[in-house]
Structure 1
Amino acid sequence: MTQKSSEGARSDDPAEIGRRVQRLRGERGFTQRQLAEPAYTAAYVSTLESGKVRPSEAALRHLAERLGVSYEELATGRPAHLAAELRLRLTDARRALATGAPDDSAELFRAVHEEAVAQDLTEEQADALLGLGDCLLESGELTDARDRFAAAERLLADEPLPRRVPAVRGRATAHLLTGELRYACYLLESTLDELDAAGLHDPEALLLLYTASIAPYMDMGAHARAAHAAELALALAPRVDDPALVAGMHRGVARTLIAEGRIAEADASLAKAQELYRQLHIRTELAHCHWMRGYVHAQDGDLEQAESELRTARDILASKRAALFTEQVEVELADVLRRRGKTGEAAALLRPLLTASDEEDEGGGGSRSTGGARSTGGAGPLGAGRGAVHAGGAHRLLGLIAEERGDTEAAEEHYCAALSLLERSSAVGDLADLCRLLGDLLRRTGRVEAAMDAYRTGLGHRAAPGTTTLGPAPATPPM
């Protein structure tokens, strides 16, 4: 932050401006009188260069024109092309995130952020932080991701709410994935209500919020609300053309404009490109919509269509190397595969998602995933601090598979592991069913009292699905 403060002083301190004017005048061989005429006097330039007077905007514009530099460069010391170049690098980083591994693009975002801080460029700092947050989300580093989004939101505190929505969405997603489901819903719903109250029905902002809300709704058992959010998100998506093609055009044009010195036009073109590259994240959000539709089809008993939707979601996420989200979809896909009788394929998807000890517990006749089942780059196991709800779901499914092959000891271990994860995450939507499964298993093995305890726990959760943890649904915007 020292660099930022220093750069801020150059912008405001008359002594810094005076030294800058003196240096540029000397480089161009002007006398003070030559620089001042015809609008000002040599004495005024002398006073300005000594730092004894704060120059007006009109004076700075006159001097900048005489010196052959931009007003911004004279007033702040920043080259006129710097912000445009940083925007260009941000679009490169966004493209890298859309097409490659998040770790690679994170390095690009960090470099831009450091330079933006040094030059006191708030907008570029915020956008670099948003990019870093998205990289960290996709790689599963959730605490660091949340911190980056919060920092971006603070930088944009004076901007219109739609500008801050990506940071809000990022924070909510990070809280969701660490198991704070209620707070994630609160962040998203309160922002939707705030947008509606202000009449700010921005399609991209709404799309980000609605699609981000699907997962916490699902995990809390608010299935009707999740389905409604998915319908709204899918209705909003066609209002955006192919972002990759349009952004590529703007980015190419910006390169030629910068080379020709047409900085303002290049900056405008890069702003369009950067916005469109940000919208490439919509592929992740649309995958969540396919994910939700797969769940709905599974609930309706159309398992073939459910498998198709979930595979589509998985393919979209895997192509972006969104490791954590891909792993979560694989848990839901494994559930459908098991219900379709494809137990071996389901188990092959699930085993690599948990820790090595979990795989050993499930071992015996099973083999590790084959046939391309894993494509997320081995980002680490699901667990309490990383995809907690779906880690619980994976244990539940492995417990069912163990029961089906007669291994009641392994089944009980998986059910208990799932129960612990879901209770800590307040994922009440799945807890009642899990307690029923555990109770049935305990009853069949002769432990009636323990089974009764499990059933009572399940009834307690059954009495409190989404209605007691969520307030009224957000208002539906005009479409």
Structure 2
Amino acid sequence: MRERDDPEVIGRRVQQLRTERGLTQRQLAEPAYTPAYISTLEAGRARASDEALRHIAGRLGVAYEELAVGRPAHLATGLRLRLTEAQRALADGRAEEAAAQYAALLTEAEGHGLAHEQATALLGLGDCSLETGDLGLARDHFERAEARLAGESLPSRVPALRGRAVSHYLAGELRYAVYLLESTLDELNRGGLHDPDALLLLYASAIGPYMDMGAHARAAQAAEFALALAPQAEDPALIARMHRSVARTLLAEGRVAEADASLAKAAELYRQLRLRTELANCHWMRGYVCAQDGELERAESELRLALDMLSETRAALYRSQAAVELADVLHRREKSAEAAELLNGVLGDLSSERGAVHAAAAHRLLGIIAEDARDTEAAEEHYVRALSLLERAGAAGDLADLCRLLGDLLRRTGRVEAALDAYRTGLGHRTAPGTTTLGPAPAQPPL
């Protein structure tokens, strides 16, 4: 944000406002200054002090900042109010409408040199792009937001850094997403910058990449830190998102009742806030928890609800990911034809660049369905495509299981050596989950 315009610009502004109000230089100057001083100032030959500008602004009947930087009074406040309206539109699932509002607000904030409001609008545009699945555009918005906040403290830059990390995570770049999150956590904790909202945002965002990489111990630790930080945080939407992320880790540790309780808390907060996409994601996660606990009928109900809600919000990438979870439940409930139809319908929205881990899950499930139908050629093709996606993403947590499926298929079709190679590859990913692809853990918060 610029502090003051150049003297020439301020001089022209003073002269224009004085003329519009029909004042002489003497009338503007009295009683504290001389007409000559006003003349020098209007000519741009003198840099007015803050005290002088406040006197002149009072005589002209305008705010100090309107003279200093040409900004209408209360502009920043009005912009912030409209930014919250755009945020509400996004929360209600109207991503395209919100993006149009954020873009207009960004232009206005740029015109008046309001760096903080520019960053807020760019963060909103990034979230809109995440919602619609345009991950490259999302990264660009988050990077620009970070640049606008370059002079701010690290906690202030955390939402932009987290947005970049989530963009890379959804694109299947797990290692880089974890690097961004862990390096920021390390810098915050080592530097004594223990901002609860910033730390909670980072720990909650790290759980998904950790789980997909097979780093279950780090995911569990991040979940424990997030739960400990939640009472200190002020943002209810942030707390709700944390509860949803933590549930996945609690489930992996066999703590099903606690996972369900976390999701209930998240759902209640989302209902209060009317955050439709996040509420849909909460139903998705509850469906996942139910499926892992063997409650398939309830899981199907929760996942169908999530899918319907995400379809209404046009959250293409999230919708496709929820569809993969639902297809898994349908297959387990012996509705394989419907599951295959659902998977084939969403694979076009998923790729190595968009939702790689879920794209691999879709191919894995299609492979299992093909095996059940004794179509070994199609099954092998799906397994190989899934393997390629997971290897590129570094998702060690799922690679071992997929190698076992492929090895079993190759063994049953008489290709013993190829089967052994698949098994060996799987064992390599089993050796030390979470330690082969990650460096030292980041410094911990003082809890």
TM-score bracket relative to the smaller structure? 0.7 to 0.9
Post-superposition shift, 1:207? 3.0
1:163 corresponding residue in structure 2: 156
1:397 corresponding residue in structure 2: 365
8 A contact 1:222–1:465 mirrored in 2:
yes
Partner AA of 2:175 in structure 1? R
Q: Provide closer, same or farther for how the CA distance between residues 233 and 325 of structure 1 changes in structure 2, counting only shifts above 3 A.
A: farther
**Counterpart pick for 1:94 among 87, 98, 106:** 87
The answer to whether structure 1 residue 426 and structure 2 residue 419 are counterparts is no
- Percent identity over the alignment is 70
Matches within 5 A, 1:244-263: none
**Counterpart pick for 2:350 among 368, 376, 382:** 382
**SS class of match (2:435):** helix
Post-superposition shift, 1:342? 4.1
Distance 2:192 2:310 in 1: 33
Post-superposition shift, 1:478? 5.4
Partner AA of 2:414 in structure 1? G
**SS class of match (2:420):** helix
8 A contact 1:347–1:398 mirrored in 2:
yes
Matches within 5 A, 1:211-222: 211-222=204-215
Matches within 5 A, 1:234-245: none
The answer to whether structure 1 residue 204 and structure 2 residue 193 are counterparts is no
Q: Provide closer, same or farther for how the CA distance between residues 216 and 284 of structure 1 changes in structure 2, counting only shifts above 3 A.
A: farther
The answer to whether structure 1 residue 71 and structure 2 residue 39 are counterparts is no
Partner AA of 2:28 in structure 1? L
8 A contact 1:25–1:67 mirrored in 2:
yes
Partner AA of 1:48 in structure 2? L
**SS class of match (1:324):** helix
**SS class of match (1:469):** coil
Distance 1:69 1:429 in 2: 62
1:267 corresponding residue in structure 2: none
Post-superposition shift, 1:145? 0.6
Partner AA of 2:67 in structure 1? L
Post-superposition shift, 1:183? 1.1
**Counterpart pick for 1:469 among 433, 437, 446:** 437
The answer to whether structure 1 residue 121 and structure 2 residue 114 are counterparts is yes
Partner AA of 2:77 in structure 1? A
Distance 2:90 2:22 in 1: 48
2:167 corresponding residue in structure 1: 174
RMSD: 3.2
Residue ranges of structure 2 left out of the alignment (5+ in a row): 239-268
Post-superposition shift, 1:332? 2.9
| Count of aligned pairs | 415
Distance 1:113 1:174 in 2: 21
Residue ranges of structure 1 left out of the alignment (5+ in a row): 245-275, 356-380
Post-superposition shift, 1:60? 0.5
1:409 corresponding residue in structure 2: 377
Which deviates the most, 195-204 or 75-84? 195-204
Which deviates the most, 404-413 or 69-78? 404-413
Distance 2:218 2:286 in 1: 13
Q: Provide closer, same or farther for how the CA distance between residues 297 and 191 of structure 1 changes in structure 2, counting only shifts above 3 A.
A: farther
Distance 1:222 1:313 in 2: 27
Post-superposition shift, 1:451? 2.2
Which deviates the most, 124-133 or 282-291? 282-291
Which deviates the most, 199-208 or 295-304? 295-304
Q: Provide closer, same or farther for how the CA distance between residues 282 and 202 of structure 1 changes in structure 2, counting only shifts above 3 A.
A: farther
2:16 corresponding residue in structure 1: 23
Post-superposition shift, 1:155? 1.0
**SS class of match (1:114):** helix
**SS class of match (1:354):** helix
2:249 corresponding residue in structure 1: none
Post-superposition shift, 1:199? 3.9
1:229 corresponding residue in structure 2: 222
Post-superposition shift, 1:111? 1.0
Alignment deviations for residues 248-268 of structure 1 (CA, whole Å, 9 cap, x no partner)? xxxxxxxxxxxxxxxxxxxxx
8 A contact 2:190–2:443 mirrored in 1:
no
8 A contact 1:212–1:285 mirrored in 2:
no
Distance 1:311 1:194 in 2: 41
**SS class of match (2:339):** helix
8 A contact 2:363–2:386 mirrored in 1:
yes
8 A contact 1:219–1:430 mirrored in 2:
yes
Post-superposition shift, 1:354? 0.9
8 A contact 1:211–1:289 mirrored in 2:
no
The answer to whether structure 1 residue 148 and structure 2 residue 138 are counterparts is no
1:266 corresponding residue in structure 2: none
Post-superposition shift, 1:140? 1.0
- TM-score after normalising by structure 1: 0.77
Partner AA of 1:59 in structure 2? A
**Counterpart pick for 1:453 among 421, 424, 430:** 421
Distance 1:476 1:237 in 2: 15
1:366 corresponding residue in structure 2: none
Distance 1:235 1:338 in 2: 38
Post-superposition shift, 1:423? 1.5
Q: Provide closer, same or farther for how the CA distance between residues 415 and 473 of structure 1 changes in structure 2, counting only shifts above 3 A.
A: same
Distance 1:64 1:235 in 2: 50
Partner AA of 1:424 in structure 2? R
Q: Provide closer, same or farther for how the CA distance between residues 320 and 241 of structure 1 changes in structure 2, counting only shifts above 3 A.
A: farther
Post-superposition shift, 1:104? 2.1
**SS class of match (1:465):** coil
Distance 2:193 2:375 in 1: 56
The answer to whether structure 1 residue 135 and structure 2 residue 103 are counterparts is no
1:271 corresponding residue in structure 2: none
Which deviates the most, 165-174 or 326-335? 326-335
